[in-house]
Structure 1
């Protein structure tokens, strides 16, 4: 009877984790913060039903921080203004995070013209939502306003000419279709190792999308072309062609392409393409080098992505802590599992990561994010190598605890409580630059 109860509890936890992965691991074209505003503008423009002549957009402080410096796909132009403009002109209102998938060069040019004519305004609004954007589109005296909050695609309010068309109930609560209450890192490990393969087989799409981005980034045409630079230095003799370098190079190349405006979808994690890339590409590179089966790869991806989701659930949606580091902790778990299949080693790798890069700041989405990706993924490789030899940062050091779940909780406390003023200071510096 006791064994039946244990199995039943495990299956309930697995069901929640499957729902979490399906909700949090989704494709997106472009950085998800400006894309969220583009989606609000696209939905508003569809409702307006007339050519958009002017746009007034309002975003939360963190949305402003993450949207100021990143290239919008198909435009070769950075910022929230161009995102709102092309969303209204050429966005697919049913496209969710792929709202810009059908954007044409003509529509992109029209968006740039609108921005140049100062027909798009962007301002910060003081709201209780860390993730919030609203787009108000005009044609003459007619207007429609669409508000998105808490999740990048969650429409919470639509107004037209002063009339409320739609309002989501419980707007002030972040709604999720799953619960991670009571889940531990060991539960995530057991889930990835044992859940029926057909329940997680959809994760092969993460490999397809994010490795395609890596290949695009290796061409050296996007962002800071860090991946391509590292590859060139192999031929000069300054770098050795090691497996660790391959992991860093390919993962960073995918981030180069994504942040540099490639019109290719990224498989996201917890609302971020870079987090999805960091949780995917390292695992795929190791699995290929080790000639692992497709099932083994999918299970490693399930561990990486679900561990990243579990760790990120302790953080705000957007904060001063760079969540590429927490996604790379998921990657460290996935890579360690590929090499050892041992939970103790997995927990040691995560502890090593927490002792290394848990304080990296997020100063907005930009090409420089690929630098942070390379740092975090490099740290993950180092953490894995230490763990498989039985070395870890101990519970006597810094914010690391003996128990990996306590260490993860400490990251949450750092992000939620300790870095609030840091976040405000970062935004102030960025706004003064702008």
Structure 2
């Protein structure tokens, strides 16, 4: 069916490997492209980003560097980046390249400032080397080069047609009912590729369980399971694996996550509760693959109603996909899946994003916990009702309303968060 192929294409475009937090990686990608065009290490790099991108780049560690922030992302992008690898631009960083990047920072050759733009992913890198000057702009997605100019001449200009980003952009009609019908009936061979999300993010969680990254929340929860304070049940395993994967990702592990809608944490949130269930119940391949596809496609649907970056924590809302999948795995039908998502809207809709950082592991674990609780409640025939808050009878309407809140009411929240973070930096 044509519509099914659209769903498959959408998931393949939105669920992709990403090394490190995607906002600093965007800066690294632009910087790598600039260095490539200059034919060597730039003498200076000036980075301009939107306030939202700045917010998501301040506190997160850049893979392979041991440092956090956009300046190191720009510097190491220039010294070690491979622009042809997209979100995996920093896959290989040598000690020499890292040393050169740190030298650029110490010599103050890299500067970062904010610029207003309607596109929250708008990123501009101006770099120079000897007499050559390059300007690289990324916009509309984390890897889309809007334009590239070298010495005043346009080297590359993106077409007016936007690349695949959201269901709304591409006029792909999605609803919970359509997604469930697709997942239950599509031939397994056509969606088997989604298993890579499980393998990548499970491996990332294993790295996080070492306790060497981020908050080490996953490792701390694991220790309490081993000591008998916590049970190795579904809710704790989902929280533990999700937190551990986020620990590794936000802590700078040189290891890719499978992202969703441009975010590794969203990909982790949509994946790990399903992996936890599959491990405990020893799921067969058919159920596991279909559940993963259900989770990731619902997560894409939920995110498509929101701004790409906003004051709403998308890691928790991506877990709505996991709750839908868990409900389905527990035998819940369409009505139960609506109930599960509604309960999550009633639970985590108030979690705001105050930037990408180690603390995101806490929010990923919160989303995982809510996903399990909401699924259990839904299968039991209950949920947060339409008489409460911003929840409607239909999960589709609840998802739409949550999107409206993120695009309107939470704008002032976003401004206040960014102002607070700027003041902290200044002081």
How would you bin the TM-score normalised by the shorter chain?
over 0.9
Whether the aligned pair in 2 keeps the contact of 1:158 and 1:164 (CA below 8 Å) is yes
User: 1:92 matched to which residue of 2?
Assistant: 82
Q: Residues of 2 paired with 1:47 and 1:306: CA distance? A: 37
Residue 124 (str. 1) matches residue 114 (str. 2): yes
Whether the aligned pair in 1 keeps the contact of 2:165 and 2:261 (CA below 8 Å) is no
Further displaced range: 319-328 or 100-109 = 100-109
The match for 1:18 among 8, 16, 24 is 8
The match for 2:237 among 243, 246, 250 is 246
- SS of aligned partner of 1:398: coil
Deviations 1:310-344 (A, max 9, x none): 11100010000000121100010111111115112
Whether the aligned pair in 1 keeps the contact of 2:138 and 2:146 (CA below 8 Å) is yes
User: 2:67 matched to which residue of 1?
Assistant: 77
Change (3 A) 1:200 1:30: same
Deviation at 1:89, TM superposition (A): 0.7
Q: Residues of 2 paired with 1:202 and 1:318: CA distance? A: 27
Q: Residues of 2 paired with 1:382 and 1:341: CA distance? A: 14
- SS of aligned partner of 2:56: helix
Deviation at 1:175, TM superposition (A): 5.3
Q: Residues of 2 paired with 1:180 and 1:12: CA distance? A: 13
**Structure 2, unaligned runs of 5 or more:** none
- 1:300-311 map, 5 Å: 300-311=291-302
User: 2:91 matched to which residue of 1?
Assistant: 101
Residue 43 (str. 1) matches residue 19 (str. 2): no
Residue 275 (str. 1) matches residue 275 (str. 2): no
User: 2:137 matched to which residue of 1?
Assistant: 147
Deviation at 1:177, TM superposition (A): 8.5
Whether the aligned pair in 1 keeps the contact of 2:183 and 2:294 (CA below 8 Å) is yes
The match for 2:56 among 66, 76, 89 is 66
Residue 161 (str. 1) matches residue 151 (str. 2): yes
Return the TM-score normalized by structure 1.
0.95
Q: Residues of 2 paired with 1:86 and 1:338: CA distance? A: 43
RMSD, matched Cα: 1.4
- SS of aligned partner of 2:317: helix
The match for 2:246 among 255, 268, 272 is 255
The match for 1:366 among 357, 366, 379 is 357
Deviations 1:34-56 (A, max 9, x none): 00110011111111113222111
User: 1:425 matched to which residue of 2?
Assistant: 416
Q: Residues of 1 paired with 2:94 and 2:272: CA distance? A: 29
- SS of aligned partner of 2:128: strand
- SS of aligned partner of 1:67: coil
Residue 377 (str. 1) matches residue 368 (str. 2): yes
User: 2:281 matched to which residue of 1?
Assistant: 290
Deviation at 1:176, TM superposition (A): 4.2
Deviation at 1:242, TM superposition (A): 2.2
Whether the aligned pair in 2 keeps the contact of 1:74 and 1:105 (CA below 8 Å) is no
User: 1:29 matched to which residue of 2?
Assistant: 19
Deviation at 1:16, TM superposition (A): 1.6
Change (3 A) 1:117 1:334: same
Further displaced range: 340-349 or 396-405 = 340-349
Whether the aligned pair in 1 keeps the contact of 2:217 and 2:243 (CA below 8 Å) is yes
